[in-house]
Structure 1
Amino acid sequence: MYKWMHHGLMCYQTAQAQECSEQSRCRELAKASTFYRTVYSEIEEVGWEHLVRFAGDLTSLSFRVLDSKGRVHVMEIQLDKTHPTCPPSISADVPYLFNLIWSANSRLKDVVQQFTKHLEKLQTFWSTVDDIDRSLWVVDPKQASPAVSYRQVIIGNDCCIVFSINATDPRSLPECRFIGPGQIVNLLRNRWRRNSKRWIKDKQFLENLECLLETQLPRSPDVEKNDQQVECGICYAKSLPVDDELRDKSGTGTDYTCDNTSCKRAFHSICLMDWLRSITTTRQSFDVLFGSCPYCSEPVAVKINTVKK
């Protein structure tokens, strides 16, 4: 009798434990289901066309945002499973991030909107570094990310100057460091200190710089400028490989450029054609593919090339 009662009690306890475990699992599934529905709904509000990539559990998302000058930016968002109770963490290739304003009623579209406004605040900074890249002989970094706020520039006589641009006040007098022979560097450093009050925010960077250093500075060689323009934005090569299948395209350089004046990215038409074919939103009319530029999302149209098999 005792053994029977003990066995019955054990079975009851096991059943209770299984029931609790099942209830716990159901609650977890319900939470997960609610999380997925919420995130899918919020992605829909932002627009699926702006979603670059996402993790399988939707805790990591990347959105592409185009600023007013046509620059493409990618913002990484990390979500907590309790979303939207806890604010997400964000990262992006920018000189500094904004302070996210978040509440329990906030949604992903609010993050994207705040990021877009932040990008507009950074336009003057990017215009300033673009001015430096365009007008001076920049040697480091040649292909800078949007987050980099320094430039190393050749100023002649085996000398360089490293500028550190203030991202929050980019038109102000930058911090600088001279590199080169001591006697020449000392002369330039003294001129910089003596003339620093002559820096005028409304002037172009080059004009200010030559005024302070009291000398004309060398420009970047045309060869270097051209080299930066001919790399394909998809395969990152200047020329296609030498291949019999490519026929007349074998070994050729880039032959297509985005029409957006703020982008002007160069491509091999074959590379762009293959990329467009991999995108579900691409349309075809007769022998032309219509889609969006991989960098600025502006419309592109490429004639189908049949040389590749």
Structure 2
Amino acid sequence: MLIFKGRDFHIRILLPTDSQLKNARIECGWQLKKILHGYRHILKQRLHSCPDLVSFVVELKTILEIALKNTQELHVPRPPEYYSCLVRDLEILGWNKVAYVDAGLTTIKLKAEDSRGRQHLVTLRLNAKGGSWDLFVCLLKQGFLNCFLVLAVYAIAAQLLQYLLVCHCLHWKCCIGLKEATSQYPTEPPDCIVDFPVQFAISWMPQDSLVTIHNQFLAALESLKEFWDTMDEIDGKTWVLEPENPARGATARRIAIGSNVSVNVEVDPRHPKMLPECYFLGADHVVNPLRTKLNNNMHLWDPEISLLQNLKDLLEIDFPSRAVLEKSDFTKDCGICYAYRLHGAVPDQVCDEPRCGQPFHQACLYEWLQGLPSSRQSFNVIFGECPYCNKPLTLKSSVKKP
């Protein structure tokens, strides 16, 4: 038994028949196992290096001291009022708006639908320090048996019941005999994690609740409605090469224009119908005319029509239709590594020779050119020859020299 700061921890060290400490097995209660969960590799290391059992026990106490310091707040139960307040707020909000609740009632995911029918989530981190056993006991004391049944739907009951079986000897004093920590909620707002292209900052007063956050979340969704309408139109009517699976917070799209030709647009989420930043990718003889058209027609941009239609008008093109062409028509493999994706990147360099037009990953082409004796480099620009047609090729690269 180890005693640390007035707490008793029972542990059993089982030595094998050869009495080798490195092959020993450690058995302990669930509480100690939870405390030392992140230190298992250290314990195994010490078992291999300690000369005897006494030395290991001394080091075990040191490891336990460090682990307790790092997790001491996790063992201080929240006051019953914290749980009762939080569960009451969830009931007022409505369980149909709750997508997930963790076992300790410290992480909650709320769902909402914007006026276009898009589904969104906001994750709340309440930083509660109490464990699931504390939560169960406090709910019982506060008369929230029905709420516990509701929480069971969210897969909490299984873990709580396990605690009940293992910890049947615990007394009610686990909630009333220890010094209670001051709960941050609802005095302070929880941390809010959202998939937004802009920061989601909430205004909060001590009397506010989860309903307040949900209402502000809905308001934020509506403020970004035009942005998501714009991005959804791009995703639905063009072939987007990057990102492969865009998140709601992604503001950039690389749109296919033709074979080995694309444009990367960066949309302002606050002004989604304004002219975006445009960067053309492809052979110079193809993208230079597009750049010229964009510059010459920029004054024709109409904020009253969609961004996609404006791009069509200014560039005097029709983007390849999803109904006629397949994405594979635009996703050509790199001519050096023979893969489309390399560490998340796609081929974005193209040979300028019209009869060649072979695409390459920037990193692959840079490494290839670096290996050619005939190549020369000036600052971040390297001059060489195409691996396929041997025509002159220039690469302006952000890749550092190996």
TM-score interval, normalised by the smaller of the two chains? 0.5 to 0.7
Secondary structure in structure 2 of the residue aligned to 1:184: helix
Match of 2:109 in 1: 62
2:211 to 94, 102, 109: 109
Tell me what 2:255 maps to: 153
Counterpart in the other structure of 1:198: 300
**Aligned pairs, number:** 198
Structure 2 residue 87 is the aligned partner of structure 1 residue 40: yes
Cα offsets for 1:60-116 (capped at 9, x unmatched)? 111111111111111100114321112211011121233210011111100000000
* Other-structure match for 2:264: 162
Confirm whether residue 187 of structure 1 aligns to residue 289 of structure 2. yes
Q: Is the contact between residue 194 and residue 200 of structure 2 (CA under 8 Å) also seen in structure 1?
A: no
Q: Which amino acid aligns with 2:81?
A: T
| Alpha-carbon distance in 2 for matches of 1:77, 1:216 | 43
Aligned partner (choices 163, 167, 192) of residue 90 of structure 1: 192
Give the CA deviation at 1:134: 2.4
CA distance, structure 1, for counterparts of residue 184 and residue 204 of structure 2: 14
Letter in 2 for 1:134: G
Structure 2 CA distance, aligned partners of 1:205 and 1:96? 19
Is the contact made by 2:275 and 2:307 (CA closer than 8 Å) also made in structure 1?
no
Which residue pairs with 1:74 in the alignment?
A: 121
Tell me how far apart the structure 1 counterparts of residues 210 and 221 of structure 2 sit (CA, whole Å): 17
| Aligned-residue CA RMSD (Å) | 2.0
Shift of the alpha carbon at 1:221?
4.1
| SS of match in other structure, 2:317 | coil
Q: Does 1:128 align with 2:230?
A: yes
- Work out whether residues 272 and 307 of structure 2, in 8 Å CA contact, stay in contact via their aligned partners in 1: no
CA separation in 2, counterparts of 1:204 and 1:103?
39
Give SS of 2:302's match: coil
What do residues 253-308 of structure 1 show as CA deviations (whole Å, max 9, x unaligned)?
xxxxxxxxxxxxxxxxxxxxxxxxxxxxxxxxxxxxxxxxxxxxxxxxxxxxxxxx
* Deviation of the 1:223 alpha carbon: 6.7
2: distance between equivalents of 1:97 and 1:166? 13
* Contact kept? 1:76, 1:92, Cα under 8 Å: yes
Identity %: 30
One-letter amino acid of the structure 2 residue matched with residue 173 of structure 1:
L
3-state secondary structure, aligned to 1:170:
coil
- Cα distance in 2 between the residues matched to 1:73 and 1:149: 17
* Partner of residue 208 from structure 1, selected from 281, 286, 310: 310
Q: Is the 8 A contact 1:91 1:97 kept in 2?
A: no
Deviations 1:209-246 (A, max 9, x none): 12211233322245759xxxxxxxxxxxxxxxxxxxxx
Q: Which segments of 5 or more consecutive residues in structure 1 lack a partner in the other structure?
A: 1-13, 15-27, 226-309
Native 8 Å contact 2:262 2:282 kept in 1:
yes
Query: SS of 1:207's equivalent?
Result: helix
Instruction: Say if 2:261 and 2:280, in contact at 8 Å, map to a contact too.
Output: yes
Cα contact 2:274–2:307 (8 A) shared by 1:
no
CA distance in 1, matches of 2:309, 2:325: 24
Unaligned runs of 5+ in 2: 1-5, 7-75, 128-182, 328-402
Deviations 1:28-65 (A, max 9, x none): 65x42111001001111111122111222212111111
Q: Secondary structure at the match of 2:79?
A: helix
